[in-house]
Amino acid sequence: MADDPLQQLYDSPITKWTGMRLVARSDERAELELPARAEFTQAEGVVHGGMLAMLADSAAVFLLWPHAGPDRWMTSIDFQMHFLRGGKPGGEPLRAIATLLRKGSTVAVAESEIWQGNECLCKGTFTYLFGARRKDA
């Protein structure tokens, strides 16, 4: 599996710590799941918005990472989230679905939605910058 361009993402500390997992991926769509753990909640008892944003961003990264290729880097440059309702801890897993809106040579934009069961919890757009890796780095 060393040739899998997503291996670096599977091995990242945030992926392992949160327990998120890739459910499906194509060149236009990626879907991740995250257990709705109690330690992901805020003071009001719903899943913290930062956890939802992290999951939405991660789905977009899993979608776009292979587009970068081994000789290019990728970094977030902007995102905007619209929170629609709170996630329930201990309930159904949180499901992030990212879709590709545009992929240019240096900038890509993806849209991510977070669902819990049949309820959409939030929706956001994520913008990423791509560049060439330095040979001396």
pLDDT tens-place string over residues 74-93: 999 999 999 999 999 998 99
Contact predicate 129/78, CB 8 Å? no
Q: What is the mean pLDDT of the chain?
A: 93
Q: Look at residue 111 and tell me whether its pLDDT is greater than 90.
A: yes
Contact predicate 62/4, CB 8 Å? no
Helix (H, G, I), strand (E, B) or coil at 135: coil
> Which residue type does 49 have?
G
Helix (H, G, I), strand (E, B) or coil at 91: coil
Which CATH code for domain 7-132?
3.10.129.10
Query: What CA dihedral angle connects 58, 63, 64 and 65, to 10 degrees?
Result: 70
Name which of 116, 102, 97, 111 is nearest 40 in CA terms: 116
Give me the helices (H) in the chain, please.
7-10, 13-18, 49-68
How does pLDDT run across 51-71, given as a tens digit for each residue?
Answer: 999 999 999 999 999 888 888
pLDDT-derived band at 136, boundaries 50, 70, 90 = confident
Structure confidence at residue 78 (pLDDT): 97
How does pLDDT run across 14-53, given as a tens digit for each residue?
Answer: 889 999 999 999 999 999 999 999 999 999 999 999 999 9
Structure confidence at residue 137 (pLDDT): 58
Q: What mean pLDDT do residues 89-115 have? A: 96
Q: Please identify which residue in the block is written with the tokens 């809106």.
A: 101
Q: What mean pLDDT do residues 103-125 have? A: 97
Q: Look at residue 1 and tell me whether its pLDDT is greater than 80.
A: no
Distances (CA, A) of 126 to 90, 103, 109, 122: 28, 12, 6, 13
pTM exceeding the 0.85 threshold for the entire prediction: yes
